[in-house]
Amino acid sequence: MPQPTIELHHGDLPAGLKLGPVVAIDSETMGLIPARDRLCLVQLSDGDGVCHLVQFPAKPAGERQEAPNLARMLTDPATLKLFHFARFDIAVLRRTLGVVTQPLYCTKIASKLVRTFTDRHGLKDLCRDLLNIELSKQQQSSDWGAPVLTQEQLRYAASDVLYLHQLKAKLDEMLAREGRTAIAEACFRFLPTRADLDLAGWGEVDIFEH
């Protein structure tokens, strides 16, 4: 697997950086509860093998980060934001930056809609099954709040966004083939509301059931 080119930024993206009409995004946090655990790192790539990482310093609980360039891109209606498990990432971005990320695409939702022959929809599974690429998850549980991240952490973080464009292309073909493109797009539009429900305390409650 080729090594990505990694550009590390602190606090925000550089002014004037252009990442194209479809940007793959992921985040690393101190834990998996978006209403509690702080955002440490945001990874972005336009699919060309270059990954931009934005590292955030620790701040007092509840205090928002100021990242106007990143926030502008996340809310740009002309830029499609591409995630794997967008529900978590956009909730963390909403709490940390105060932005509603739109429009967006989630490869995990797309996979669940068309790969109904399996219950394995993780990023590692999709890369292996659809792209024949093996991802390492060795750094998944490391300390992302450390002031200085290791090269292994940076490479791991970059790998989470480098293949999302290729996965989207494969999943789009399958969604069209199975006649599920429209329902996938409707799910993507609903995700900001789903993230708001998570942050408000309805994360584990299915409000649609009887």
Percent of the chain with pLDDT over 90: 92
pLDDT digits (tens, 9 = 90+) for 130-171: 999 999 766 667 899 999 999 999 999 999 999 999 999 999
Q: Which CATH number fits domain 5-202: 3.40.50.2300, 3.30.70.100, 3.30.420.10, 3.40.1190.20?
A: 3.30.420.10
Which residue's entry shows tokens 């602190």? 10
Q: Which pLDDT score, from 0 to 100, does residue 1 have?
A: 54
Each domain of the chain, given as residue ranges in start order, spans: 5-202
Q: Which pLDDT score, from 0 to 100, does residue 2 have?
A: 64
Q: Which pLDDT score, from 0 to 100, does residue 136 have?
A: 78
Percent of the chain with pLDDT over 70: 97
Q: Which pLDDT score, from 0 to 100, does residue 76 have?
A: 98
pTM: 0.95
Q: Which pLDDT score, from 0 to 100, does residue 116 have?
A: 98
Positions of the chain with pLDDT under 70: 1-2, 137-140
